[in-house]
Amino acid sequence: MRCFKIKHAVCLLGIAGLMLGIGCKKDSGYYDFKNEAQVFNGSTYEYLQSKKGMFDSLLKVLDITPLGDSLKKGNNTLFAPTDLCFKAMMENLNAIRQVQGKEALHLGTVDRDELDSLLEKYIIRGVIPSDSMTYADGLMIYSMQTGYPMHGKQRATDATGYVGGGPHYINFSDTKRTQYIISWVTTVTSSINLKTKNGVVHVLKDDHVIGFNEFMTRLNN
């Protein structure tokens, strides 16, 4: 009987030790996080075409403005607004126009020059992956068409037990041509570092406001 009690106690201690070891084990999924880039075997323009229902509006704008060719050839970085970004822009624009007694617009009928000015800020000179924007002050970047100053800064979400150990994202800002950061308008990405044959794509979150709050003054005429 005494032997049985000793064996029973040893068994319980063994189970407790095993449970303690499991409870103290680190989650390597957080600590070993790597933000690995995807690769698409085609141009940036072809990548957009491959994502049916996601970038249809952007492709329409690219085709009716001079911007399209820049994504078919040449080296550049695209901060890509999704269809939901364009949908929100047009719904908000037409809601105001309805109150003003104006006819509703769609992407094919808005002023093309103004639309070009809004969208050219999203196509950046050179191939700029997110790890190029890790400096403390971020990185000044410039639109391909006019050299308009934009700004990018890579950040990381926190993970359990590790500050900054989660997925990375980019703060993408319109500087409004001022050095005062308080005046900048900033949006964030939902995915980053999609490499194509002639550039890299960072996809913006669906709630991004096209034109960084300028669409109403530029398109409502």
Structure tokens at 128: 């700029």
Q: Residue 215: which of 78, 111, 83 has the closest Cα? A: 111
Nearest to 155 by CA among 166, 167, 168: 168
Q: How far apart are CA 72 and CA 65, in angstroms?
A: 14
Q: What is the pLDDT of residues 14-40, one digit of tens each?
A: 433 433 343 333 322 223 334 445 899
The predicted-structure confidence for 127-177, as pLDDT tens digits, reads as follows: 999 999 999 999 999 999 999 999 999 998 755 545 445 689 999 999 999
Taking alpha carbons only, the member of 61, 173, 70 closest to residue 115 is: 61
Dihedrals phi, psi of 130, to nearest 5 degrees: -65, -30
- At 18 the pLDDT is 36
